[in-house]
Structure 1
Amino acid sequence: MADSVNSSVNSSVNPFLAPSTLPYQLPPFADIRDEHYREAFDHGIAEQLAEIALIVSNPDEPTFENTLLPLERSGQTLQRVAAVFFNKSSSDSNDFTNALEEELAPLLAAHEDAIRLDPGLYARIASVHAQREELGRDAESLYLVERYHTEFTLSGAGLSDEDKAALRDFNKRLSTLTTRFEKNLLADTNELAVLIDDVAQLDGLAAGEISAAAEAAKERRLNGYLISLVLPTSHPYLASLTNREVRERLLSASAARGIRGGAHDNRELVLEISRLRAERARLLGFDSHAAFVTADETAKNPDAVAEMLGRLAPAAARNARAEQAELQKIIDGSGEGFELAAWDWAFYTEKVRQATFDVDTAAMRPYFELERVLQDGVFHAATRLYGVTFTPRPDLVAWHPDARVFEVSDEDGSPVGLYIGDFYTRDSKRGGAWMNPLISQSALLETPTVVCNNMNIAKPTAGEPTLLSFDEVNTLFHEFGHALHGLFAQVTYPKFSGTNVYRDFVEFPSQVNEMWMLQPEVLANYARHHETGEPMPQDLVDRIHASSTFNEGFSTSEYLAAALLDQAWHRIDADAVVTDVAEFEASALAAVGLDNPLVPTRYASTYFAHTFSGGYDAGYYSYIWSEVLDADTVDWFTENGGLTRENGDRFRDRLLGVGGRMDPLEAYRDFRGRDAIIQPLLDRRGLN
């Protein structure tokens, strides 16, 4: 059976059917054609099903060697094509990828169900699990047995045939709907970009930002200046634009995504996705989708999530109201005579920041040139901490001309992997910033590591510098933390490779990496004026630190509002009837005291990609859940001398290098010597 599958497609023609011969098995992007994708997906699905069939039909008693090992080795063709295709559909989509992704969504959901719901395979896994104490295997192998048994059980492998049929239908429908949600959001985000006719209306923006807006308009063959929307509700330009009408247009455009009627309206999708998830959870034996999701996370149940978020929300809302009063004083004192609105918050926050702390975040941009931030900041910190170096590889081609390849080497010259950075925004790229692997390290498969970072930085006209905002620099350090996690993980089994950890732990390493952005020896190395080369003044750096908890009421409230909204959608039971998205949102936010119209939720439901298409469903809480570990770890680094190789090696060996091969909280205790405490987080966010 396997032979007939392998001979069905010519591997010399389709580059996905065999490992790449390029360095680190980098996919041969120059050779990949549109027609290769569907052919490779079809072949990969058939190939893996044949591999699973061989496991199930094995007449010998189930063992680790004849069940778990071939299961881990299965599906390599499918993995190769999926990694490349879904990276492309996120970072450089077109009509072809959009159509194919919608075709593939139900097929891949059905394929996963064919494996997870196979009674013969589940019986073999259960048999190995029952004898795990006698296996005599190493800790990683035993954990592999535990994870497979848990995941198959929670996925419904033990259901009746009738219930499995219903589950397959749920999964197929949900895969189609979440894919459609993402495509609608990208299209509506592009359509709602704000076109400005008169450059005077862009007063307050830096020259590079105006240049980027002009370039964006030019690319669409429009006259004027086009401001592309970002994924969150609040656009970074709201802090700088002096024209109040333009600020209102920009925020209103962001909030209008998915609610305008027509082909890209996401309201019905939100209702149907949340309902189907609730019904599927009941079928699987859970009270809600949130209960189903958290059962296999470090939180373990939605009540633990609710307890933590509920502890933070009142203080955050109270701080935001105090900040609001201060902003209104600024407006009243200016004689402008209007009530503060949501689109004014960021602009007047900057005025208060300047008046109170003498910190002008817009004035920082000249010190944050992209190339310098990347090479002399992000890479430099990693070199100081872990001994790794980054060498440009212009001879290696990525998926887009803007995507650049770097070879990562250890201090002794031994290879670590490839890092690809694709930093600029374009209409074909979904919003936000993220990391994903193209090739994941595994000793079993003898595979190396290739990881990617994607961001959405506005690209100025050719020849002009790319100057980053303070938040964009922070985001780059954050996403690079994910990349390091992917690069450093050393595991035997592909299931545990890279960032394959619990969702509510995965943000922890990336958040820790943010700390190096303002570390004195790192900042001094990269924060230099792009024209004069002068370092950022130390007194400005000191004032940044002094203002670290400033506006935390707003930022914590907008995040918690989204996290609690995500929980609200996914804590409904299967009998709940929700018919109005806006009404449900308002009720959910009012229930937790975060219904302040001046502090809109970071993501409203119809453009909440994390929860309705991005894999963070009932899991958006994970950012602040992980931040407990992060803040506690920052304290550890501070107590132990900060940016040293000894500290870096400990963090790399005991956390980043572990990947998913052990319980992450056990790994944390091994690193820290105890469980994390919440006090450092409360101090950081001013929530005491």
Structure 2
Amino acid sequence: MIFLENFNTKYQTTPFSLIKLSEYKDNFKACIEKAKTEIDEIIQNTEEPNFENCITALDFAGQELDRLSSTFFNLNSAETSDEMQKIAQEVSPWLTEFSNDITLNEDLFQKIKIVYDKKDSLNLTTEQQTLLNKKYKGFVRNGALLNEEQKQKLREIDTQLAKLKLTFGENVLAETNNYQLHITNEADLKGLPEGAKEAAAHLAESKNLEGWVFTLDFPSYLPFVTYIDNRELRKEISIAYGKKAFQNNEFDNQQNVKDIVRLRHERANLLGYKSHADFVLEERMAKNPEKVKSFLHDLLEKAKPAAEKEFAELTTFAKELDGIDHLEKWDSAYYSEKLKQKKFNLDDEKLKPYFKLENVLNGAFTIAEKLYGITFKEVFDIDKYHEDVKTYEVLDFENNLVAVFYADFFPRKGKRNGAWMTSYKSQYIKNGINERPHISNVCNFTPPTKTKPSLLTFNEVTTLFHEFGHGLHGMLANTTYPSLSGTSVYWDFVELPSQIMENWCYQPEALALFAKHYETGEIIPQEYVDKIKESSNFLEGMATLRQLSFGMLDMAYHGKAQTIDDVKDFEENAFENTKLYPDVAENCMSTSFSHIFQGGYSSGYYSYKWAEVLDADAFAYFEEKGIFNKEIATKFKEYVLSKGGTEHPMELYKKFRGQEPTPEALLKRAGLI
């Protein structure tokens, strides 16, 4: 069993090329058995339960299973296949059952409770206190205090939810892959930039087709709806994008949405909570649904007037330019881009030559070096799961290994849409050895063509920096216990390290490091830099409204008991206060809202905006002292990036900043005050 052995590889990296799909199930069975044995040893230990033999032992139990699960489910997102998805459907219930076997084990819970009840006399460090509280609450929040009948019910719900979430994601991926827009008449491509046109021709050629092919993958879809003059074609692909898993076919997610929402609510009630949101938010900085709703509502009050004014301006502009009487959703990106060009004389096609992917990535590396004293060295002797992946050693100034970094940047068939950071191996300290993490960034950027390298839109540049910020949170982790390491923090704190990194993309001093013309090497002209900064608030009210609408939809689903007769009607209701564009009957966002129905953002989508308050406040501190100020960077590294979940995030933030955050910096940056 490959996952039960020490990997005979550099830095114990995952030996992807040696893993056979056919062996995953046996590996899962073997790793679950080994983890069960380690749990049994804790339970059967006859010594008085203490922090080491109970809490520490539990945190380090099942490491092989954790490693296997990370590898398998990371690849199921980045490099999946029909066979892998079948295995996922089979092993997910095993993992749910195993997890429940632990949290519902009465004997194990009693041992934890003995330690927990005497915590005040144990002289624990802050990190140990956090771990003990987390373990105890983890058991209680997962049913340890329920009776046998209730525990059985919880097991059934958890098994169903695990399968439903997987199916939801598989359906979205299938619908994304099943659509293509094949164009053979070049006149239909009027308005499309040369690079996007070449990429579409390349895609058509790879499918043995004449002409040009466009898909629902973002690097293909976004240029199409942004630049194509043919409004009917924009409408066609826009509607296709919006009706993913909402087509009453085998991949329809409407029932899955209803079932997930119902089961989450039942689960919360079973555990003594009013709603799924109440359950989730108990372990967040926001604490409860009322505070989240009030936070979203306050921002809505400030953003809505600005959004309505921007929308009116956009409507007038489209009417004057093309006689459009009513703006539709498929007009949004197109006329926004045209208005942006008119106002700022700046478009992505002018900027893209300055944002060659390799240069942008090296720019992120250089900024991390200036701030945190780490360097990135590409290496070619670490195994990878696809030829597109690049591998790096991350080293400190004394050449010690800080982390292994995997970068996977281009779309392909077996890879889900979007961008994310993940980990193949956590950081922790065991037997005096600081085990360093293996971190991955996965994105879907504009791929290179026959004549051009990968040239990024400015939006892709900020996405790269965002995910790299998450990556740094994982790479610079420095905690003792694996379950508190890296990004294992409150969900509404996890976006701070990622969102703060985006700020450097707007700074002339930072852009000078990497924004260089891919052919001439010329640094991006100052007038472009000024315009990037100037246009950073462009349609910010509308963008804020859009984000708030997603947070409000999330809270509508999870904030109280629901009977959802019709998913589309329910969604429309939730969007009522944030609507600008007319509804599109064929479309429904909920059926492909993977963040909340497949990922971990249920009752947590508000955290993007919450973390923006933190990141604007934190970056204002950098600006005050200098964006490469070593002292501020060291504090950010020490109290935010390296501490993981070892302390309450607000305490960590105050240690970094000296005070609690205020929303003024965000509202000012967004031009809303």
Q: TM-score of the superposition, structure 2-length normalised?
A: 0.96
Partner of 1:34: 21
Greater CA deviation, 175-184 or 551-560? 551-560
Q: Flag the 1:156–1:505 CA change in 2: closer, same or farther, 3 A.
A: same
8 Å contact from structure 1 (residues 387, 410) kept in 2:
yes
Q: Flag the 1:234–1:399 CA change in 2: closer, same or farther, 3 A.
A: closer
Partner of 1:479: 467
CA distance in 1, matches of 2:343, 2:153: 60
Q: Which amino acid aligns with 2:119?
A: R
SS in 2 for 1:523: helix
Matched ranges for 1:557-572 at <5 A:
557-572=545-560
Displacement, 1:41?
A: 0.7
The C-alpha deviation readout for 1:151-178, integer Å capped at 9, x for no partner, is 2111111111111100000000000001
Partner of 2:442: 454
8 Å contact from structure 1 (residues 328, 340) kept in 2:
yes
Partner of 1:25: 12
CA distance in 2, matches of 1:150, 1:223: 60
Q: Which amino acid aligns with 1:583?
A: D
Partner of 2:599: 614
Displacement, 1:535?
A: 1.8
The C-alpha deviation readout for 1:468-521, integer Å capped at 9, x for no partner, is 111000000000000000000101111111111111111110001111112222
Q: Which amino acid aligns with 2:489?
A: V
Partner of 2:124: 137
CA distance in 1, matches of 2:583, 2:517: 35
Partner of 2:90: 103
Q: Which amino acid aligns with 2:611?
A: S
CA distance in 1, matches of 2:228, 2:106: 60
CA distance in 2, matches of 1:682, 1:234: 31
Displacement, 1:318?
A: 2.5
* % identity of equivalent residues: 39
Greater CA deviation, 35-44 or 265-274? 35-44
How many pairs were matched up? 671
RMSD: 2.0
Displacement, 1:218?
A: 3.2
Partner of 1:402: 388
Partner of 1:584: 570
Corresponding residue to 1:597 among 549, 561, 582:
582
Q: Flag the 1:595–1:125 CA change in 2: closer, same or farther, 3 A.
A: farther
Q: Flag the 1:561–1:216 CA change in 2: closer, same or farther, 3 A.
A: same
Partner of 2:45: 58
CA distance in 2, matches of 1:313, 1:598: 20
Displacement, 1:560?
A: 1.0
CA distance in 2, matches of 1:536, 1:577: 54
8 Å contact from structure 2 (residues 238, 330) kept in 1:
yes
CA distance in 2, matches of 1:238, 1:84: 35
Displacement, 1:134?
A: 1.2
Displacement, 1:202?
A: 2.5
8 Å contact from structure 2 (residues 446, 456) kept in 1:
no
Partner of 2:429: 443
CA distance in 1, matches of 2:380, 2:499: 30
Partner of 1:550: 538
The C-alpha deviation readout for 1:293-347, integer Å capped at 9, x for no partner, is 1011111101110000011123333322211221222222225344222111221
Partner of 1:657: 642
Partner of 2:276: 289
Partner of 2:228: 241
SS in 1 for 2:232: helix
CA distance in 2, matches of 1:370, 1:31: 30
Greater CA deviation, 223-232 or 534-543? 223-232
CA distance in 2, matches of 1:232, 1:666: 40
Displacement, 1:206?
A: 2.8
Partner of 1:124: 111
Matched ranges for 1:165-564 at <5 A:
165-230=152-217, 235-375=222-362, 377-444=363-430, 446=433, 447-462=435-450, 464-564=452-552
Partner of 1:676: 661
Q: Flag the 1:319–1:307 CA change in 2: closer, same or farther, 3 A.
A: same
Q: Flag the 1:89–1:515 CA change in 2: closer, same or farther, 3 A.
A: same
8 Å contact from structure 1 (residues 25, 439) kept in 2:
no
SS in 2 for 1:417: strand
Q: Flag the 1:338–1:565 CA change in 2: closer, same or farther, 3 A.
A: same
SS in 2 for 1:412: coil
CA distance in 1, matches of 2:53, 2:366: 46
Displacement, 1:234?
A: 8.3
CA distance in 1, matches of 2:210, 2:281: 49
Q: Flag the 1:66–1:337 CA change in 2: closer, same or farther, 3 A.
A: closer
Displacement, 1:282?
A: 0.7
Q: Which amino acid aligns with 1:465?
A: P
8 Å contact from structure 2 (residues 617, 665) kept in 1:
yes
8 Å contact from structure 1 (residues 211, 460) kept in 2:
no
Displacement, 1:143?
A: 1.4
Partner of 2:62: 75
CA distance in 2, matches of 1:32, 1:56: 33
SS in 1 for 2:24: helix
SS in 1 for 2:575: helix
Displacement, 1:452?
A: 0.2
Displacement, 1:613?
A: 0.5
Q: Flag the 1:567–1:230 CA change in 2: closer, same or farther, 3 A.
A: farther
Q: Which amino acid aligns with 1:330?
A: F
SS in 2 for 1:438: strand
CA distance in 2, matches of 1:127, 1:237: 61
Q: TM-score of the superposition, structure 1-length normalised?
A: 0.94
CA distance in 1, matches of 2:542, 2:399: 46
8 Å contact from structure 1 (residues 589, 595) kept in 2:
no
Q: Which amino acid aligns with 2:600?
A: G
CA distance in 2, matches of 1:511, 1:306: 22
Q: Flag the 1:236–1:614 CA change in 2: closer, same or farther, 3 A.
A: farther
8 Å contact from structure 2 (residues 311, 580) kept in 1:
no
Q: Which amino acid aligns with 1:83?
A: S
CA distance in 2, matches of 1:481, 1:167: 36
Structure 1: stretches of 5+ with no match in the other structure: 1-13
Q: Flag the 1:231–1:45 CA change in 2: closer, same or farther, 3 A.
A: farther
The C-alpha deviation readout for 1:350-402, integer Å capped at 9, x for no partner, is 22222222222332111111111111x11111111112111110122211000
Q: Flag the 1:232–1:472 CA change in 2: closer, same or farther, 3 A.
A: closer
8 Å contact from structure 1 (residues 209, 460) kept in 2:
no
8 Å contact from structure 1 (residues 214, 224) kept in 2:
yes
Greater CA deviation, 471-480 or 48-57? 48-57
Greater CA deviation, 431-440 or 79-88? 79-88
Q: Which amino acid aligns with 2:5?
A: A
CA distance in 1, matches of 2:443, 2:206: 19
CA distance in 2, matches of 1:195, 1:100: 33
SS in 2 for 1:503: coil
8 Å contact from structure 1 (residues 25, 448) kept in 2:
no
8 Å contact from structure 2 (residues 378, 391) kept in 1:
yes
The C-alpha deviation readout for 1:422-459, integer Å capped at 9, x for no partner, is 00001110111000011111002743211000001132
